[in-house]
Amino acid sequence: MRRSTLFRCCALPFALALAACAAYQAQHAAGRAPAVAVPAVAAIGASVATPSREFTELPDAQQVSIVRGQADEVKKNLAAKGRYACCVRPACNECLLKRGECHCREVATKGGPCCGECTEAWVEGRGAIEGLKAWDLLERRRQMLDRAPSPP
């Protein structure tokens, strides 16, 4: 029974990240088919989205600790596959939860803006790309916002 509970606790953040990635792709597909079939992801997410009773009965601090540890493990696994290359240390969680992968290092190196969490981390002094400054990233973000269409 303990092993089953541990598996469910480990599977939850992964399934949430996968569902978030599929949702992001579906919202931003601009007329192309999503890379992952949304119904399949929804079915996976529905089967593990509700935490087990054992997990919910844990103290809040322990729940947070488990989720953080699982998120770190997922990021390490994705990094080993070349799908998580963050530009800050420790690596962001925003890309994991929104897209299921992170390419902020490559984007920032090529002159683009990185995700919001990474931008904030650069301002806090946690940048991990030599020669790049927080001010450069903030300026890129400002330029991106200047080009964005104004809300109705």
Question: Do 91 and 147 fall into the same domain?
Answer: yes
Question: Do 131 and 142 fall into the same domain?
Answer: yes
DSSP 33: P
Question: Do 31 and 104 fall into the same domain?
Answer: no
**What is residue 2's predicted lDDT score, i.e. its pLDDT?**
54
Alpha-carbon distance of 43 to 148, in angstroms, equals 35
**What is residue 87's predicted lDDT score, i.e. its pLDDT?**
96
Question: Do 1 and 52 fall into the same domain?
Answer: yes
Yes or no: say if 16 and 49 are a contact pair by the CB < 8 Å rule: yes
Alpha-carbon distance of 98 to 17, in angstroms, equals 7
**Total domains, the chain:** 2
Question: Do 15 and 75 fall into the same domain?
Answer: yes
**What is residue 34's predicted lDDT score, i.e. its pLDDT?**
32
Question: Do 77 and 57 fall into the same domain?
Answer: yes
Sign of the C-alpha dihedral computed for residues 65, 86, 144 and 122 taken in this order = positive
Phi-psi region of 100 (alpha: psi -120 to 50; beta: other; left: phi over 0): left
Place of tokens 């079939």: 37
Domain span at residue 9 reads 1-81
Question: Do 47 and 29 fall into the same domain?
Answer: yes
Question: Do 91 and 54 fall into the same domain?
Answer: no
Alpha-carbon distance of 72 to 78, in angstroms, equals 10
Question: Do 13 and 72 fall into the same domain?
Answer: yes
Sign of the C-alpha dihedral computed for residues 17, 143, 126 and 111 taken in this order = positive
**What is residue 78's predicted lDDT score, i.e. its pLDDT?**
96
Question: Do 68 and 92 fall into the same domain?
Answer: no
**What is residue 49's predicted lDDT score, i.e. its pLDDT?**
53
**What is residue 58's predicted lDDT score, i.e. its pLDDT?**
93
Question: Do 73 and 31 fall into the same domain?
Answer: yes
Alpha-carbon distance of 136 to 113, in angstroms, equals 9
Question: Do 75 and 101 fall into the same domain?
Answer: no
**What is residue 74's predicted lDDT score, i.e. its pLDDT?**
94
Phi-psi region of 133 (alpha: psi -120 to 50; beta: other; left: phi over 0): beta
Question: Please, what are the averages of pLDDT over each run of 10 residues along the chain (152 residues)?
Answer: 50 44 42 32 43 91 94 96 96 94 94 91 95 91 88 80
**What is residue 94's predicted lDDT score, i.e. its pLDDT?**
95
